[in-house]
């Protein structure tokens, strides 16, 4: 019976409001702008009420002006829902701005871990992103060829951002 779906309808409506898509509730997902599709993805994740959100490149393909809104939404979800967020992200501005803890990887190896300020000041990390890591790979200078990564962790339970 339809009354069994009321709980799900109410939950869906609340989640759409939370991610800022209530006014688009009847719009097909494929017709949403890319930034709104990313918000919808977060909403779908929230529907299962996870303790940990694993987000792989949540800002990929987004226009620069859309990124701050999505990052604010992720932070809000993390803080209000007491969620842990593990974030894989190449956008260092995003990683540095929302993470409590960051793990930087290069060619599958951990280069550094720490608070954003520690990571920003770390010479090994700077070298990796400027292309000066000869000794780690043993195969010459690979630079920032998409094999380096950053993982940040912030929030009550922790938020992690990683790029790799």
Task: Answer yes or no: 135 catalytic.
Answer: no
Burial class of residue 150 in the structure, from the number of CB atoms within 10 Å of its CB (0-12 exposed, 13-18 middle, 19+ buried): buried
Residue 103 token pair: 């793990």
Angle of CA points 29, 65, 18, to nearest 5° = 50
Contact of 117 with 154, CB cutoff 8 Å:
no
Measured CA to CA in angstroms, residue 141 lies from 9, 55, 103, 127 at distances of 54, 29, 21, 10
- Selected catalytic residue, list 23, 41, 51, 57: 57
Active-site residue set: 57
């Amino acid at each position: 019976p339809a009354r069994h779906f009321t709980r799900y309808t109410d939950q869906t409506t609340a989640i759409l409001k939370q991610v800022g898509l209530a006014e688009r509730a009847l719009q097909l997902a494929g017709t949403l702008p890319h930034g709104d599709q990313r918000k919808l993805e977060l909403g779908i994740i929230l529907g299962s009420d996870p303790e940990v959100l694993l987000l792989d490149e949540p800002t990929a393909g987004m226009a620069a002006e859309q990124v701050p809104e999505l990052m604010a939404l992720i932070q809000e979800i993390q803080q209000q829902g007491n969620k842990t967020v593990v974030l894989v992200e190449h956008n260092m501005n995003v990683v540095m701005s929302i993470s409590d803890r960051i793990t930087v990887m290069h060619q599958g190896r951990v280069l550094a871990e720490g608070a954003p300020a520690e990571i920003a000041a770390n010479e090994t990390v700077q070298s990796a992103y400027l292309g000066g890591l000869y000794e780690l790979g043993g195969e010459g200078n690979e630079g920032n060829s998409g094999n380096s990564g950053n993982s940040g962790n912030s929030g009550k339970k922790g938020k992690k951002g990683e790029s790799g």
